[in-house]
């Protein structure tokens, strides 16, 4: 008993040591990442201020207030950002999955439809658009893919936007979208109640480092309190929870067998290694990434394990902008627009200060120039006022000259304003602010040039969608494909189909395609159709199919009405199916008739072959056995009767089948039309004519056989011949002539002058 407790205690101590080592490792990496990204975080907070219109520092505002100068801000950065983000919204993209193996053909559509359904359920497009905005502001955008059971008890895949200033990553990563990062972490704030709900073993008061800077903490708006007053219940500071993800390279073995390559973990491979050697099988040791997660609160790890899905890498995904190689960080569009915006604000404020502080007119008058100085001051600006002056008063009054405005201030301010959009390469055409008339082709080319300047941002977004699509597909395959109904929109309209695990492709390629909901894509398709429609109508080609309607820039309600009209109703579909079934029956009957005709023709050819063989094998008359002609006649008569009977039976069967099919159509309510009846009658008449030609051929064959039999019979009958024998003068026979030949059995000889005649 004591040994058992000691073992359990040792195991618990080992687990505790392992947890402490993991917490120590996470703390060291987080401290290094925080130090390396400190400058980026400072710049990112400044970029968010500029995007929101807070473009004056506290020191500059204090100086301006002291000089009684207005801190003017015309936020043009926000306008440029909205144009870029709107460009992404107008060019939506979707993830499509293409299977790699032939056995997966057909499953990719189900996986693609399931991914589209999941993205619609959790508003993934909106979350990704917000992350794309973060990418353009601070140079990084983040999302997290997880399985949520709060809204759906069966589980639903969610993709949520993460605040970039909450993220930490491996500072040695240099590739786009942090593809080579060995770990990624997110620091989020949670209340004690939320932490206790997720990890009941949590105890408040633990030590730990605060990873988020004070600038990132929420503002405490609780009212102040005084010594004589009771301290109000202010906002409780939330606790930082570190969600840490990393991977480790672990060994595994692949064994080649008759069924292919089989994978084994190291412990299992060691158990069967001897048997594999005895069997003569070969294997290879390889490495692969295994992804893990852990939750750290303070200096304690409360939960850790393998990630829910291993395909696609970390569930925390990043989009990176333009890279600063020396600082090993990323920056967005706002970083290169801040200086022009700042100088535009300063020059505008300086111009207003000059205008406010310099003289704009007025008078300079000596004492005693006006009879009533107060009245003159009050009425000087009135056009109909009478200003009374003392003698020689006009000589004592002089107008003040307005100060000249500094030269070049307008040009400097205009240069700064234009540079706000010029530095990121976003021209006026891309923002739709062109103030001059120019050809549409030129404007389109300039707009495309502006899009090319933003390729870095959109390329990161495209790569992110491919990476996130692999994770989404793995979640769908392992957690969503449980038979639940998903909405699929196809040519027949929307319908709900069960998503089963065996319908999802196991191996696939991820492809990013422009979604039909993209506004720009709809405009492009509309322009193409406007040019093609007249040509197609003149050539007699049918209009575009219903699948093209979803690409047209029309309201959803109008599109749905068009699709309903384009789709055949159920009655029409049933009628079309019946007509197709009738056509198939007609074709089947025609094929059967042709087959029977070919069969009859084969029988005819067989009869002709039998006749030819009979002629060849017919023995001479002297060798024919008695009664042979009678047997041959009976054989031919029997074969002729069999062929005629088979022909009559086949014709009757074809007519009966055709009549039964017509009656079945009438009973089913689908009366065949006139053309179909004519086709059936034509088939029957063709069959009759073919059968008649076959019968005629058989009769000719039979008559020919009968003639041959008659000739044989004639050869078998005895004949009487009258022969004249020719002799020479010595009485020797030199020849003979046949004088006559008739049936008979007697033989006689007649001797005549000059020769003998023999019968």
Q: What is the pLDDT of residues 388-419, one digit of tens each?
A: 888 888 888 888 776 676 777 778 888 888 88
- Helices 124-138 and 38-52, packing angle to 10 deg: 110
Domain contains 235: no
Same domain, 498 and 531: no
Same domain, 53 and 167: yes
Predicted local confidence at residue 248, as pLDDT: 93
**pLDDT tens sequence across 446-470:** 777 778 888 889 999 999 998 998 8
Domain contains 680: yes
Domain contains 488: yes
Q: Say which residue, 277 or 497, is predicted with more confidence.
A: 277
Spell out where 229-299 has E strands.
239-257, 260-264, 282-297
Same domain, 59 and 173: yes
Predicted local confidence at residue 291, as pLDDT: 95
Q: Which domain holds residue 534?
A: 526-567
Domain contains 391: no
Q: Which helix or strand (DSSP H or E) is residue 737 part of? A: strand 733-743
Same domain, 676 and 749: no
Residue 233 three-state SS: coil
- Terminal C-alpha separation, the chain: 141
Domain contains 751: yes
Identify the sign of the CA torsion 232, 233, 235, 239: positive
Does the structure show a pLDDT above 80 at 344? Answer: yes
Q: How many CA atoms within 13 Å lie on the side-chain side of 16?
A: 6
Same domain, 535 and 677: no
Output the six-digit token pair for 55: 């473009």
The overall average pLDDT reported for the chain is: 74
Instruction: Decide: 474 and 312 in contact? Cβ < 8 Å.
Output: yes
d(CA 407, CA 186): 53
Instruction: Decide: 167 and 316 in contact? Cβ < 8 Å.
Output: yes
Same domain, 650 and 563: no
Does the structure show a pLDDT above 50 at 197? Answer: yes
Same domain, 172 and 92: yes
Does the structure show a pLDDT above 50 at 304? Answer: yes
Same domain, 558 and 692: no
Domain contains 691: yes
Same domain, 450 and 338: yes
Does the structure show a pLDDT above 70 at 674? Answer: no
Q: Is 159 left (phi over 0), alpha (psi -120 to 50) or beta?
A: beta
Average pLDDT over residues 621-645: 58
Q: Of all residues in the chain, what percent carry a pLDDT higher than 70?
A: 55
Closest CA to 146 of 168, 129, 124: 124
Q: Say which residue, 334 or 261, is predicted with more confidence.
A: 334
Does the structure show a pLDDT above 60 at 547? Answer: no
Same domain, 332 and 470: yes
Same domain, 501 and 579: no
Q: Say which residue, 225 or 373, is predicted with more confidence.
A: 373
Does the structure show a pLDDT above 80 at 735? Answer: no
d(CA 505, CA 503): 7
How many residues in the chain?
Answer: 759
**In 10 A of CB 154, how many CB atoms?**
10
Same domain, 472 and 535: no
Residue 641 three-state SS: helix
Output the six-digit token pair for 629: 């002609």
Pick the range with the lowest mean pLDDT from 58-62, 104-108, 359-363, 642-646.
104-108
Domain contains 219: no
Question: What is the total count of domains within the chain?
Answer: 4
Q: Is 21 buried (19+), middle (13-18) or exposed (0-12) by CB count in 10 A?
A: exposed
This prediction has a pTM of 0.63
**In 10 A of CB 355, how many CB atoms?**
11
Predicted local confidence at residue 517, as pLDDT: 47
Q: Say which residue, 430 or 611, is predicted with more confidence.
A: 430
Domain contains 258: no
Give backbone dihedrals phi and psi of 630, rounded to 5 degrees, phi first: -70, -40
d(CA 444, CA 167): 39
**In 10 A of CB 405, how many CB atoms?**
12
Average pLDDT over residues 83-98: 83
Predicted local confidence at residue 639, as pLDDT: 63
**pLDDT tens sequence across 503-519:** 455 556 666 655 544 44
Predicted local confidence at residue 151, as pLDDT: 82
The most confident of the ranges 64-78, 488-502, 636-650, 696-710 is 64-78
Average pLDDT over residues 89-109: 67
């Amino acid at each position: 008993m004591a040994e058992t407790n000691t073992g359990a205690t040792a195991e618990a101590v080992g687990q505790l040591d392992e947890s402490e080592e993991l917490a120590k490792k996470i703390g060291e990496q987080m401290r290094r990442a925080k130090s390396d990204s400190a400058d980026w975080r400072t710049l990112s907070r400044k970029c968010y201020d500029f995007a929101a219109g807070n473009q004056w520092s506290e020191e500059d505002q204090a100086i301006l207030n002291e000089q009684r100068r207005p801190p003017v801000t015309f936020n043009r950065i926000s306008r440029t950002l909205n144009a870029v983000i709107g460009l992404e919204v107008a060019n939506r993209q979707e993830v499509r999955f293409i299977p790699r193996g032939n056995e997966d053909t057909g499953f990719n559509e189900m996986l693609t439809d399931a991914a589209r359904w999941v993205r619609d359920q959790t508003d993934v497009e909106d979350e990704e658009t917000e992350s794309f905005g973060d990418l353009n502001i601070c140079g990084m955008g983040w999302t997290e893919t997880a399985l949520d059971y709060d809204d759906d008890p069966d589980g639903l895949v969610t993709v949520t936007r993460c605040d970039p200033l909450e993220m930490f990553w491996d500072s040695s990563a240099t590739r786009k979208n942090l593809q080579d990062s060995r770990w990624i972490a997110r620091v989020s704030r949670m209340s004690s109640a939320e932490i206790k709900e997720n990890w009941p073993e949590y105890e408040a008061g633990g030590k730990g480092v605060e990873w988020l800077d004070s600038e990132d903490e929420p503002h405490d708006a609780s009212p102040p309190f005084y010594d004589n007053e009771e301290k109000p219940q202010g906002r409780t500071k939330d606790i930082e929870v570190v969600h840490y993800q990393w991977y480790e390279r672990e060994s595994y073995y692949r064994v080649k067998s008759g069924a292919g390559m089989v994978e084994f973990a190291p412990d299992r491979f060691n158990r069967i290694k001897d048997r594999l050697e005895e069997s003569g099988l070969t294997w290879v040791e390889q490495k692969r990434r295994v992804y893990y997660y852990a939750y750290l609160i303070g200096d304690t790890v409360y939960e850790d394990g393998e990630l829910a899905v291993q395909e696609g890498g970390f569930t925390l995904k990043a989009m990176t902008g333009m890279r600063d190689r020396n600082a090993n960080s990323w920056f967005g569009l706002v970083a290169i627009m801040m200086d022009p915006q700042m100088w535009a604000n300063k020059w505008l404020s300086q111009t207003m200060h000059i205008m406010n502080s310099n003289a704009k007119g007025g008078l300079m008058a000596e004492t005693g120039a006006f009879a009533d100085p107060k009245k003159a001051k009050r009425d000087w600006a009135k056009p109909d006022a009478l200003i009374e002056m003392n003698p020689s008063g006009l000589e004592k009054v002089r107008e003040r000259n307005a100060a000249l405005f500094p030269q070049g201030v307008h040009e400097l301010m205009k240069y700064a304003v234009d540079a706000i959009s010029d530095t990121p390469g976003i021209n006026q055409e891309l923002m739709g602010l062109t103030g001059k008339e120019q050809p549409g082709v030129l404007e389109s080319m300039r707009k495309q040039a502006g899009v090319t300047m933003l390729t870095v941002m959109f390329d990161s977004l495209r790569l992110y969608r491919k990476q996130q699509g692999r994770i989404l597909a793995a979640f769908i395959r392992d957690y969503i494909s449980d038979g639940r109904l998903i909405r699929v929109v196809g040519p027949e309209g929307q319908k709900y189909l069960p998503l089963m695990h065996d319908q999802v492709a196991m191996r696939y390629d991820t492809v990013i395609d422009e979604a039909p909901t993209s506004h720009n894509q709809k405009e492009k398709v509309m322009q193409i159709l406007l040019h093609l429609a007249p040509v197609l109508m003149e050539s007699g080609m049918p209009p575009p199919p219903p699948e093209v309607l979803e690409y047209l820039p029309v309201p959803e309600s109008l599109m749905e009405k068009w699709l309903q009209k384009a789709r055949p109703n159920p009655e029409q579909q049933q009628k079309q199916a019946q007509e197709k079934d009738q056509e198939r029956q007609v074709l089947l009957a025609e094929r059967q008739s042709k087959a029977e005709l070919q069969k009859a023709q084969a029988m005819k050819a067989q009869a002709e072959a039998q006749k030819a063989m009979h002629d060849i094998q017919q023995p001479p008359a002297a060798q024919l056995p008695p009664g042979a002609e009678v047997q041959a006649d009976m054989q031919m008569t029997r074969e002729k009767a069999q062929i005629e009977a088979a022909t009559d039976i086949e014709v009757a069967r074809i007519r009966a089948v055709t009549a039964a099919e017509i009656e079945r159509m009438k009973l089913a309510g689908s009366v065949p039309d006139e053309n179909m009846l004519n086709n059936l009658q034509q088939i029957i008449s063709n069959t009759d004519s073919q059968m008649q030609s076959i019968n005629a051929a058989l009769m000719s064959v039979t008559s020919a056989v009968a003639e041959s039999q008659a000739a044989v019979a004639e050869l078998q009958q005895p004949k009487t011949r009258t022969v004249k024998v020719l002799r020479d003068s010595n009485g020797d026979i030199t020849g003979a002539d046949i004088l006559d030949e008739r049936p008979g059995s007697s033989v006689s000889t007649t001797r005549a002058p000059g020769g003998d005649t023999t019968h």
